[in-house]
Amino acid sequence: MSLQAPEFFTELRLSFHDHTVVGNTYYAAPVPGTPLRLRIDFTRTIYADTYGGLRVAVVHPDRGEIDAVALSFLGHGTFHRRDEATNTRPDTQQYGTFDKYHRPGRPPWDGAVTTGLRDAIEQYTAVWFPGAWAASGPKRAASRTSLRTPPPPTSPAGARTR
């Protein structure tokens, strides 16, 4: 079974005009005419064929990798809803991850909410490629699905907080 990386990166909606997916890796030239490139790979876990996030790197053709950041699926809420819905426990291999096996007709990352990952990639690329994100494509619609920070817990009746 394949990882279906091109479909994952399409679903992630990265909007760089000059990009390609080779194997399981996304490559982009966010700013035309500059040597810096963006590379995004899946990060593996200690379990075979199981992925726990993305590794985003800035690469120079002569100097190699200049900077990189690991974006975990767990840290960006990618599988929070799926794991809650299926009662997947934190101490299991499947929690906050996906593997290359999947139900027929469904992608391996079924149930993923990629908004947090996409936002993190946008923030990272804004540092290394200023203006590239806005120049690459239209902004997302305001009604996008996103994970929101839950409100703080309510205080007991009669307690005052400031």
Residue 111 lies in a domain: yes
Residue 158 lies in a domain: no
Distances (CA, A) of 155 to 148, 151, 158, 159, 160: 21, 12, 8, 6, 8
Report the alpha-carbon angle 109-51-123, nearest 5. Answer: 80
Quote the CA–CA distance of 53 and 76 in Å, as a whole number: 9
**C-beta separation of 107 from 137 below 8 A:** no
Residue 67 lies in a domain: yes
Distances (CA, A) of 44 to 34, 35, 51, 53, 145: 30, 28, 4, 8, 27
Q: pLDDT in tens for each of the 162 residues of the chain?
A: 467 899 999 999 988 889 999 999 999 999 988 999 999 999 999 998 899 999 999 999 999 999 999 999 999 999 999 888 889 888 888 888 888 887 788 888 888 999 999 999 999 999 999 988 765 554 444 333 333 334 444 444 444 444
Scan for tokens 């992925």, then name that residue. Answer: 51
15: left (phi over 0), alpha (psi -120 to 50) or beta: alpha
Domain count, the chain: 1
Residue 150 lies in a domain: no
Residue 160 lies in a domain: no
* Residue 146 confidence (pLDDT): 35
Residue 51 lies in a domain: yes
* Residue 2 confidence (pLDDT): 63
Scan for tokens 């200023």, then name that residue. Answer: 130
Residue 143 lies in a domain: no
Residue 25 CB neighbour total at 10 angstroms = 15
Residue 83 lies in a domain: yes
* Residue 147 confidence (pLDDT): 35
Domain of 92, in residue numbers: 5-136
* Residue 139 confidence (pLDDT): 45
Quote the CA–CA distance of 13 and 27 in Å, as a whole number: 14
Global pTM?
0.79
